[in-house]
Amino acid sequence: MGVDLRSMLNPKSVAIIGASQNPEKVGHIILQNYINSGYAGKLFAINKDAESILGVKAYRHIGEIKERLDLAVIAIPAPFVPQVLEECGKAGVRSTIVVTAGFEEIGQKELQDQIVEISERYKMPMLGPNCLGVIDTRARTDTLFLPTYKLSKPGVGYVSFISQSGAAGSTILDLIAGEGFGLSKFISYGNAAYIDESDILEYLMNDDDTKVIIMYIEGIKNGKKFIEVARKVTKKKPVVVLKGGRTSVGQQATLSHTASLAGDYQVYEGIFQQFGFTIANDLNDLLYYAKTLVSEPAPKGNRIGIITNGGGAGVITTDAVGYTRELKLAELSDKSKQLLRKKMPPLVNIRIPLDLAGDAGGDRYETAVAAMRDDPNIDMIIVIALFQTPGADSGVVAKLVHFKADIEKPMIVISIGAEYTQIHNRMMEESGLPVYDSPSAAVKALAELYKYYNYKGRK
Amino acid sequence: MGVDLRSMLNPKSVAIIGASQNPEKVGHIILQNYINSGYAGKLFAINKDAESILGVKAYRHIGEIKERLDLAVIAIPAPFVPQVLEECGKAGVRSTIVVTAGFEEIGQKELQDQIVEISERYKMPMLGPNCLGVIDTRARTDTLFLPTYKLSKPGVGYVSFISQSGAAGSTILDLIAGEGFGLSKFISYGNAAYIDESDILEYLMNDDDTKVIIMYIEGIKNGKKFIEVARKVTKKKPVVVLKGGRTSVGQQATLSHTASLAGDYQVYEGIFQQFGFTIANDLNDLLYYAKTLVSEPAPKGNRIGIITNGGGAGVITTDAVGYTRELKLAELSDKSKQLLRKKMPPLVNIRIPLDLAGDAGGDRYETAVAAMRDDPNIDMIIVIALFQTPGADSGVVAKLVHFKADIEKPMIVISIGAEYTQIHNRMMEESGLPVYDSPSAAVKALAELYKYYNYKGRK
């Protein structure tokens, strides 16, 4: 069954150990974030001196709380963590998140072993130490100790994100929010002393609110356990993985970060490929791939139709298709050719990429998308909309969003530019239409979509 | 000597042929853009019916203007262009820009040959047809017929941009403006019927306000002529080139776009490599590479120092260095190690990547950058600043901008995130500190910087 993370992600009652009146302290920020996110369960603050913090009643010890506690979030200096965990165990706390750093990652292995022993003794699952904790957008749970004004928090969605690194995690969260597509869960697991990446992967595999999993990992705690889960998870949903420490210099760097023995990347890559994981090579890839995997249906084949209002962008996108191993450029069916020739102005060449020209507005896009939607020679559609051109405006956006509602083929957009463009991109993203700011990223995302469903179909 | 483009880029007098009172017409937008950009020379409108347009006196024919004209911008339907060019020639106009489309790119080769013949007969250099024309930020010249609200126009800078494609050109202009680094000249040359990419390259090679040239090309008009220029230009300044039609499917697409016979990319790539061009593979690469090439000094070697406030981003950046052929991770000198050990908190591991931890503020960045600046083992510095972390704020920006003013090594920043981050990135960009939103892009930019100066040093 694996570890049940419900008491962490969706707790009915939470105690913040190390809650503080000082707004710069981690314990203060965590309590504040719980309050801000609209958490509906019971909140308790543990602090030796205060009567109450941020309007929440404070207790000196966790033992003084006479209610069942689903979760204790621990934000106190490392040397005091064992004693507090012992108290949590005695008080019957169901699970803990230790955000405190200063354990194995700086050589304090004994201290870490000690907190694992206590957690195991009380059968009390622990996340961390040295982690950011969790977000569950539906349960309105947020243990992140980062000031709210510094990062946008994503809305409710279907992508869940596992990160070994806290800072990389918060950066990606910020990007997800900025791009306007939603999050289901975020789990930062740090040193993986008790709960590791395999436990989390297994939990998310069975979570109905998670359609795509993205993960940043530096090492794998238990290879055999990971392979067991890896074998199953991609049959149910796609997993995009970015591995830190892929090169020998990178491996040295992971050692002092999360104490991970990164190991030979060839081995990891072999496992990822064998089990149909989607492999990312940079932080941004995680988003690029997740965006299309979470919103697009399985493609029937690998033939790409391209619609554009700028010839150069059409050529560059066509080149990107030509460079993939997986995809090929579609050819219009005779029926589509006749239809388009009849409806398009004479300057438009009837071929793929279909260049609608710079004065193209919503109507020309509508004709083009409808033709490609109905064309049996085309499996996936890339729509390039350059909003610097005279014809492209919110009328184009309206048509594309309208089509997106009932098209059964993958359809994504490339749109590149500054302010005016960003406004339109945001509209499309929020209507569930994936938008890419680079032709090669868009094409790679479709190639990964194709690869994933191709893998899944073979299983 | 090549073609002198001064009469196009910095004309003392301009006639807009096809100027119109209808704000949707190209001729109207061009006149409007000249007025908006603060052009100080004399403006004339040519229109059969109007007395004046946008406050500019209108003439029925160019022959009626009794002053010397440096430039005529021609925005009338293709079939009328030959006659108007003939009139320009008779009136002694020094040069023309034909923005009108509908020539060789749609099979009208004869019409195109006709306008070339007229231009040659009058020794009147012509840009286009089927082009966007030019921008010169210093001369306040702007012939682009794109509505101002749709794209941000870049400020004054030292990057000049040659584009065969109009739409790709305007997209990149918009991005340059959005990123906050400046432009010198933009020249969109379309079908290259008279003035071609080699003429423009040669002109910009000798232009003091151009420090870096970026270009998007689909074909090369005259290979021998191009090689002659290519041989010389990179000895003076870097050229970043993106070639459309690198794959066989892409080559098909260029045919119907700019009527370019793209030819085998292997041949192009060979020429680009032989003459030290910086090769881009996507639109965004043009900016990524130009940004560092225009602001950074020649590196003394290929050893990269990395400073970070997020462990994961440090690892990913280290991996990116490990994946390049050109760069390697630096090692701190003993002197730096001692200095940093003394000044940094105990949690900081004294090694590269130097992880300052999430609570690092300006002071810790100051110590780290100063140490790497003075360390003879380090040739280039990458500073990662994740503004989601508790410690990073405008205090970090202030320190980095301060150092940038007198550091003699290349130093660039990686900073990834949404709104709060973007505000800080903008401050750094506007202070001349290149900022990248992806570790791999930043590392590739330094690799290209190193390659360019390595090429130049060998010549």
What are the tens digits of pLDDT across the range B230-252? Answer: 999 999 999 999 999 999 888 88
* Region A297-321 average pLDDT: 96
State how far Cα B450 lies from the chain centre: 19
| Cβ contact B146–A320 (<8 Å) | no
Q: What is the pLDDT of residue A459?
A: 64
Nearest to B249 among A145, A322, A421 (CB): A322
For residue A265, the chain B residue with the least C-alpha distance is B319
Q: Which pLDDT band, with edges at 50, 70 and 90, does A264 fall under?
A: confident
Q: Which pLDDT band, with edges at 50, 70 and 90, does B459 fall under?
A: low
- For tokens 């406050």, name the residue: B55
Give every strand in the sheet of A239-243, ordered side by side.
Answer: A141-142, A133-136, A183-188, A156-163, A212-217, A239-243, A278-280
Chain A neighbors of B24, CB-CB under 8 A: 390
3-state secondary structure chain A: CCCCCHHHHCCCEEEEECCCCCCCCHHHHHHHHHHHCCCCCEEEEECCCCCEECCEEEECCHHHCCCCCCEEEECCCHHHHHHHHHHHHHHCCCEEEECCCCCHHHCCHHHHHHHHHHHHHCCCCEECCCCCEEEECCCCEECCCCCHHHCCCCCEEEEEEEECCHHHHHHHHHHHHHHCCCEEEEEECCCCCCCCHHHHHHHHHCCCCCCEEEEEECCCCCHHHHHHHHHHHHHHCCEEEEECCCCHHHHHHHHHHHCCCCCCHHHHHHHHHHCCCEEECCHHHHHHHHHHHHHCCCCCCCEEEEEECCHHHHHHHHHHHHHCCCCEECCCCHHHHHHHHHHCCCCCCCCCCEECCCCCCHHHHHHHHHHHHHCCCCCEEEEECCCCCCCCCHHHHHHHHHHHCCCCCCEEEECCCCHHHHHHHHHHHHCCCCEECCHHHHHHHHHHHHHHHHHHHHC
Q: What is the pLDDT of residue B295?
A: 94
Q: Which pLDDT band, with edges at 50, 70 and 90, does A225 fall under?
A: very high
In Å, how far is A120's CA from the nearest CA of chain B? 28
Q: Which pLDDT band, with edges at 50, 70 and 90, does A145 fall under?
A: confident
- B409, B381 contact by CB (below 8 A): yes
Chain B neighbors of A353, CB-CB under 8 A: 253
SS3 B89: helix
In Å, how far is A315's CA from the nearest CA of chain B? 5
| Cβ contact B311–A168 (<8 Å) | yes
User: Hey, which CATH number is domain B297-458, 3.40.50.261, 3.40.50.11540, 3.50.50.60, 3.90.280.10?
Assistant: 3.40.50.261
Q: What is the pLDDT of residue B206?
A: 96
For residue B310, the chain A residue with the least C-alpha distance is A167
State how far Cα A39 lies from the chain centre: 22
Query: With pLDDT > 90 as the criterion, what percentage of chain A qualifies?
Result: 78
| Cβ contact B175–A416 (<8 Å) | yes
User: Is residue A181 classed exposed, middle or buried when 0-12, 13-18 and 19+ CB atoms within 10 A define those classes?
Assistant: buried
Q: Which pLDDT band, with edges at 50, 70 and 90, does A405 fall under?
A: confident
What is the ipTM score, two decimals?
0.92
Question: pTM of the full predicted structure?
Answer: 0.93
Nearest to A281 among B171, B242, B440 (CB): B440
Q: Please determine, for residue A256, whether its predicted confidence score (pLDDT) is greater than 70.
A: no
User: Hey, which CATH number is domain B1-130, 3.30.420.40, 3.40.50.720, 3.60.20.30, 1.10.3720.10?
Assistant: 3.40.50.720
List all residues 6 or more positions away from B356 whose beta carbon is below 8 Å from its beta carbon.
Answer: B307, B308, B309, B344, B348, B364, B365, B368
pLDDT tens for each residue of B139-175? 999 998 887 788 888 899 999 999 988 888 999 999 9
pLDDT tens for each residue of B311-343? 999 999 999 999 999 999 999 999 999 999 999
| Cβ contact B250–A318 (<8 Å) | yes
For residue B330, the chain A residue with the least C-alpha distance is A249
Q: Where are the domains of chain B?
A: 1-130, 151-295, 297-458
Which has the minimum average pLDDT: A216-220, A250-254, A326-330, B307-311?
A: A250-254
List all residues 6 or more positions away from B314 whose beta carbon is below 8 Å from its beta carbon.
Answer: A253, A257, B306, B308, B353, B354, B355, B384
pLDDT tens for each residue of B96-117? 999 998 999 888 999 999 999 9
* Region A292-304 average pLDDT: 97
Decide the pairing of beta strands A212-217 and A156-163: parallel
| Cβ contact A165–B282 (<8 Å) | no
Interface test with B, best of A179, A191, A388, A420 (most B CBs within 10 A): A388
Cβ pairs A/B, distance under 8 A: 268
Nearest to B355 among A257, A313, A347 (CB): A257
Q: Please determine, for residue A61, whether its predicted confidence score (pLDDT) is greater than 70.
A: yes
Nearest to B146 among A311, A349, A388 (CB): A388
Q: Please determine, for residue B196, whether its predicted confidence score (pLDDT) is greater than 60.
A: yes
Q: Please determine, for residue A259, whether its predicted confidence score (pLDDT) is greater than 70.
A: no
Half-sphere exposure of B25 (CA within 13 A, CB side): 16
Q: What is the pLDDT of residue B153?
A: 81
In Å, how far is B90's CA from the nearest CA of chain A? 32
Q: What is the dotted CATH code of the domain comprising A298-458?
A: 3.40.50.261
Judge if A1-130 and A298-458 fold alike in CATH terms.
yes
Q: Please determine, for residue A148, whether its predicted confidence score (pLDDT) is greater than 90.
A: no
List all residues 6 or more positions away from A25 whose beta carbon is below 8 Å from its beta carbon.
Answer: A18, A75
β-strand partners of A163: A188, A216
| Cβ contact A246–B170 (<8 Å) | no
Q: Which pLDDT band, with edges at 50, 70 and 90, does B266 fall under?
A: confident
Average pLDDT, chain A: 93
CATH architecture for residues A151-295: 3-Layer(aba) Sandwich (3.40)
Gyration radius of chain B over CA positions: 25
Which has the minimum average pLDDT: A331-335, B88-92, B391-395?
A: B391-395
In Å, how far is B91's CA from the nearest CA of chain A? 32
Q: What is the pLDDT of residue B263?
A: 66
In Å, how far is A437's CA from the nearest CA of chain B? 8
pLDDT tens for each residue of A124-143? 999 999 999 999 999 999 99
Q: Please determine, for residue B92, whether its predicted confidence score (pLDDT) is greater than 70.
A: yes
Q: Please determine, for residue B209, whether its predicted confidence score (pLDDT) is greater than 60.
A: yes
* Region B56-62 average pLDDT: 94
Interface test with A, best of B24, B319, B389, B396 (most A CBs within 10 A): B319
β-strand partners of A95: A71
For residue A152, the chain B residue with the least C-alpha distance is B418
Q: Please determine, for residue A257, whether its predicted confidence score (pLDDT) is greater than 80.
A: no
Which has the minimum average pLDDT: B190-194, B259-263, B294-298, B393-397?
A: B259-263
- For tokens 């709104």, name the residue: B419
Distance, in Å, from the CA atom of A61 to the CA atom of A70, rounded to the nearest integer, reads 16
Question: Nearest-CA neighbor of A407 among A439, A368, A443, A442?
Answer: A368
Q: Please determine, for residue B257, whether its predicted confidence score (pLDDT) is greater than 70.
A: no
Q: Which pLDDT band, with edges at 50, 70 and 90, does B258 fall under?
A: low
Q: What is the pLDDT of residue B261?
A: 56
